[in-house]
Structure 1
Amino acid sequence: MDEATLYAELADHLRGLGALDEVSSLLNWDQETQMPPKGMARRAEQCAAVASAAHALATAPRLAELAELLKDADLDPAAKVNVAEAGRISRRATRVPAELAGEIARATALAQTVWQAARESNSFADFAPVLERVVTLKREQARLLVGNGETPYEALLDEYEPGMTEAELTGMFERMRPRLTQLRARIAASGWRMPRFTGSYARAGQIALSRRLCDVFGFDWQAGRLDLAVHPSSAGSGGDVRITTRVNESDPRECVYATIHELGHAVYEQGLGPAQALLPAGMSASMAVHESQSRLFENQLGRGRAFCEWLCPAVGAQFGSTGVDMPESFYAAVNLVETGFIRTEADEVHYNLHIMMRYDLERELIAGTLDVADLETAWNDRFRADFGVAVPEARLGVLQDVHWSAGLFGYFPTYALGNVYAAELYAAMRAAMPDLERLLAAGDVWPLVDWLRARIHARGRLLPPAALIEEACGHPPSEEALLGYLERKYGALYTL
């Protein structure tokens, strides 16, 4: 059998896996947005069935055989990536029994519903038993996945950021933490009282504004939709991308910036090359690269001084007076720095400190040095130590994020790494586009999306994550770009 025939067979196999992954993603979206409460048990079985079918495809001996036969074949770059990823998928999947893969899917589907109810009732005790089950299963999965000197946590991290190590992440966080805490302390000591939003903001108006933001940031309505959920998220790819946001009627920032954040994910997925649809080479490079798009949209662009020239009157037209009716005061209000409990609402100075805390706690959970029964106390103690305030209730603390109920251990650090990549991309974009500020002030974001499409979106997974960012920016990524950006921005805002 010739190489072209073998590769066609491998590609068909991989497309089947890609399709099942999208089915799983859309089942989760439906659970968050549309599913009736009594559907929980049936949904758990559906998720388990999809996971079992995907596991059967991934562990099929023929996939490993094809990857081996084609590893030295004369193929184009995208095909080479697909062959390499086929081997990686097969190796990881064959280490995990089908029963465990199905049970993880079942347990996490149930856990997400229980988490939502526990968050509403403000009771970690209601959530702890199902989280204990998820953590037990993920510890077992990590133990089975370990290979080539990996730690159990790295084995899970590899699903989201291939090749990244605990040592690299820990070193980066140790370099970032002193400058972030110093910047926070200088801001607190400055005595500046920043303007704040006042009034109320009706749900319908916030949804209307969110839809307008979708248009501005290049969202294709023929290939996606926007809904409300407990936790904002993005699901799907290509021609079917679903995003969710949430509403706080006393503060429009939550909905505005949740929407812009999820648009970063969605526009990335809509911009992936169609020629490699459902194949690894046509998928996002990693979760940190994914987060770089959402954090870039949300912060450097969405919270930037120039875009506030457009956003301030847009919010005013929708709601009337906000208490911050001029672009300068609006810009200050959306960049207010203060200690808060909720990660997704955190300002840029505090945000990575939230991630570092979760990174340390989830590493301890997977290592077995922290039990779920002690997690709420550990969270509260660590939050007081890192942020200087006591957590008043579980929904503002350990129950605020969906990730652990969904089994996404290893995901959190990609947010911080995504911030690092976003700062590098923003610096490169500014250098390449002298009129960037004028475009943003006019609400003309499409040229920026096109810049990202060419350098990030259309490149898919053709390069490893850090190499992709290096190609786009002209040098290896470093946290220095992020720290310098934050110090300049907030130094000016607070006249430090």
Structure 2
Amino acid sequence: MSAFDDLLAFQRQTEALSSVAERLGWDQETVMPRGATEQRAEEMGAMESVLHERRTDPRIGEWLEVAEPRTEAEARAVELIARDFTRKNRVPARLASEIARVTSLAQGIWAEARANDAPEEFLPTLDNVLMLKREEAAALADGGDLYDALLDDYEPGATGAGVAALFDQMRPRLVALREDVLGAENQPAALTGHFPHDTQLRLARACASAFGYDWSRGRMDIAVHPFSSGRWQDSRITTRVVETDPFNCFYSTIHEVGHSSYELGIDEDYAFTPLGRGVSLGVHESQSRIYENQMGRSRAFSGWLFARMHDAFDGLNVANAEEFYRTVNRVTPGYIRTESDEVQYNLHIMLRFDLERDLIAGRLDVADLTEAWNARFLKDFGVAVDRPANGVLQDVHWSVGLFGYFPTYALGNVYAGCLNAAMRAAVPELPEALARGDAAPGVEWLRENVQRHGGLLPPRRLIEEATGGEVGPEALLDYLEEKFGRIYAL
């Protein structure tokens, strides 16, 4: 075997073990007994120690020096392995294992604190997580910006300064649109009533099937914070059920189907290689958001959903499909990011981006985080946070050490805006299909132009090749202004 073949064979086992570790995380958030938290933390720490040892194995450096890739895909695989090898060697094994152990524990502590509306039960643990992530960032940055070092894990090539500039460009039009919408005379009605748990789950499965979710390689479970997990032949989704708000369940499901379908849509030849996963979280989010919003909240698909909800729940307080479409896209100054409308969603991300950047830089202490969150939310949304579960405790991300993750949600929206414009031009029959509850034409276009490539192309290049244009926020902002301008008769 050549050095390249040896490298890929070694990497294959590492990827398989990484997938097992990911399955442990899925289990913890879905079906693991609550009393097993400490045991799982030890298991996660041990698994991370094994993975870190493999990812920093000196033989990788030796193979990389002499490996001779023969194709573009092989050259890209070598590039990604080398990048990971360099980054992992900067982080001490002790630190990698401790981060895995502490964040596994922290996740359970956060969930309890959120349920109890008690930030004091979680913030000391968050402070410990933050200290560990600062140490990791310092090792990765090698003298550079700490936040950039963490962000690069999730969106390679992005920088905090670049994200901040993008947000500065987006914010004025988003704020202006929000003010126009909230001040409009004709406001859509809210959906009210009781929507039983089992009926919601049955319809959620129908929504997942409408978007082509492969049930032979996936499953759906309940989680506090919906997520997807897995790749290749096993990619699972979760959702949550609130019996007064079925949209929470249905659109969380569609969102996670977008993530999961990305992993399941990657070229099978890339399985167990660095190319066999989504290239970045921003691109990943572009898939979940375009499934959820540009297709799922479209007039066409919401009409299909209206008919099924009307039958399943013995009528609705919304009279017809057009009014239902307006209700699905109703803009309200709510607290929760995952339940936010398209107009305000990115403003939620901007708040978190600024706070976590300050936390990593040491400009904000964890002890002051709740007050800082509440003050910023009041300033940005004009509403005082009523309780911590609707404020600083609402997201799982910081408990599991995902600093640098939040901006990828907004980047995903920007990518989705670009992709939607190109997809609508290329697939003019899509609205008619969505009205039948069939998202296949859009899903197939996304699979061909984005999903199948996996990690083959860098994030921005992938979106640019898929759309034939440069990446920028204009397509997203134009789409939002046109859509909500019509809904609210602006």
Shared fold per TM-score greater than 0.5: yes
CA offset at residue 119 of structure 1?
0.5
Find 1:422's aligned residue among 406, 416, 419.
416
2:61 maps to 64
CA deviation string 1:326-352 (max 9, x = no partner)? 110110001001101000000011100
2:321 maps to 327
CA deviation string 1:206-248 (max 9, x = no partner)? 1101111121111111101000010000000111111110011
Change in Cα spacing, 1:360 to 1:228, as seen in structure 2 (3 Å) is same
CA deviation string 1:454-480 (max 9, x = no partner)? 111111111110100000100111100
Partner SS for 1:288: helix
1:128 maps to 123
Mapped partners of 2:441, 2:178: distance in 1: 34
Mapped partners of 1:181, 1:202: distance in 2: 36
Mapped partners of 1:6, 1:324: distance in 2: 64
2:137 maps to 142
Mapped partners of 2:425, 2:158: distance in 1: 29
CA offset at residue 27 of structure 1?
0.9
How do 1:91-110 residues align onto structure 2 when only pairs under 5 Å count?
A: 91-110=86-105
Find 2:79's aligned residue among 80, 84, 94.
84
Change in Cα spacing, 1:198 to 1:15, as seen in structure 2 (3 Å) is same
Partner SS for 1:405: helix
Mapped partners of 1:211, 1:325: distance in 2: 25
2:229 maps to 235
> Is 1:39 aligned to residue 36 of structure 2?
yes
Find 1:400's aligned residue among 384, 394, 401.
394
2:263 maps to 269
Q: How much identity, in percent, do the aligned residues show?
A: 51
Partner SS for 1:201: coil
Following TM superposition, where does structure 1 have runs of at least 4 consecutive aligned residues deviating by more than 3 angstroms? none
**Is the CA contact 1:79–1:281 (under 8 Å) kept in the aligned structure 2?**
no
2:238 maps to 244
2:430 maps to 436
**Is the CA contact 1:312–1:325 (under 8 Å) kept in the aligned structure 2?**
no
> Is 1:488 aligned to residue 482 of structure 2?
yes
More displaced stretch, 486-495 vs 61-70: 61-70
Specify the code of the residue in structure 1 equivalent to 2:371.
T
CA offset at residue 368 of structure 1?
1.1
Partner SS for 1:102: helix
Mapped partners of 1:475, 1:450: distance in 2: 20
CA offset at residue 317 of structure 1?
2.1
Partner SS for 2:182: helix
> Is 1:112 aligned to residue 107 of structure 2?
yes
Mapped partners of 1:140, 1:480: distance in 2: 37
Partner SS for 2:397: coil
Partner SS for 2:230: strand
**Is the CA contact 2:69–2:78 (under 8 Å) kept in the aligned structure 1?**
no
CA offset at residue 21 of structure 1?
2.0
**Is the CA contact 2:259–2:288 (under 8 Å) kept in the aligned structure 1?**
yes
Partner SS for 1:283: coil
> Is 1:6 aligned to residue 3 of structure 2?
yes
TM-score, normalised with respect to structure 2: 0.99
CA offset at residue 322 of structure 1?
1.7
**Is the CA contact 1:316–1:325 (under 8 Å) kept in the aligned structure 2?**
no
1:366 maps to 360
Mapped partners of 1:74, 1:53: distance in 2: 27
1:409 maps to 403
Specify the code of the residue in structure 1 equivalent to 2:376.
R
2:282 maps to 288
1:27 maps to 24
2:459 maps to 465
Specify the code of the residue in structure 1 equivalent to 2:368.
D
**Is the CA contact 1:63–1:90 (under 8 Å) kept in the aligned structure 2?**
yes
How do 1:333-344 residues align onto structure 2 when only pairs under 5 Å count?
A: 333-344=327-338
Mapped partners of 1:335, 1:227: distance in 2: 26
Partner SS for 1:348: coil
Mapped partners of 1:74, 1:88: distance in 2: 16
> Is 1:191 aligned to residue 188 of structure 2?
no
2:159 maps to 165
Partner SS for 2:219: strand
Specify the code of the residue in structure 1 equivalent to 2:218.
G
CA offset at residue 325 of structure 1?
4.1
Specify the code of the residue in structure 1 equivalent to 2:260.
A
Find 1:380's aligned residue among 366, 369, 374.
374
Change in Cα spacing, 1:360 to 1:480, as seen in structure 2 (3 Å) is same
Specify the code of the residue in structure 2 equivalent to 1:293.
Q
Mapped partners of 1:384, 1:21: distance in 2: 41
Mapped partners of 1:86, 1:250: distance in 2: 47
**CA RMSD across the alignment:** 1.0
**Is the CA contact 2:232–2:276 (under 8 Å) kept in the aligned structure 1?**
no
Specify the code of the residue in structure 1 equivalent to 2:3.
L
2:249 maps to 255
CA offset at residue 94 of structure 1?
0.6
More displaced stretch, 345-354 vs 319-328: 319-328
CA offset at residue 191 of structure 1?
2.2
CA deviation string 1:151-190 (max 9, x = no partner)? 1001001111001111211110000001100111111221
How do 1:195-210 residues align onto structure 2 when only pairs under 5 Å count?
A: 195-210=189-204
Specify the code of the residue in structure 2 equivalent to 1:291.
E
More displaced stretch, 321-330 vs 358-367: 321-330
CA offset at residue 74 of structure 1?
4.7
CA offset at residue 282 of structure 1?
2.1
More displaced stretch, 100-109 vs 184-193: 184-193
CA deviation string 1:27-64 (max 9, x = no partner)? 11111111111100000001001111110011111112
**Is the CA contact 1:265–1:294 (under 8 Å) kept in the aligned structure 2?**
yes
CA deviation string 1:412-445 (max 9, x = no partner)? 0000000001111111111001111111111111
Structure 2 unpaired stretches of 5+? none
Specify the code of the residue in structure 2 equivalent to 1:98.
A
Mapped partners of 1:84, 1:461: distance in 2: 11
1:351 maps to 345
Mapped partners of 2:18, 2:311: distance in 1: 41
TM-score, normalised with respect to structure 1: 0.97
Mapped partners of 1:473, 1:317: distance in 2: 39
**Is the CA contact 2:226–2:239 (under 8 Å) kept in the aligned structure 1?**
yes
Mapped partners of 1:369, 1:13: distance in 2: 42
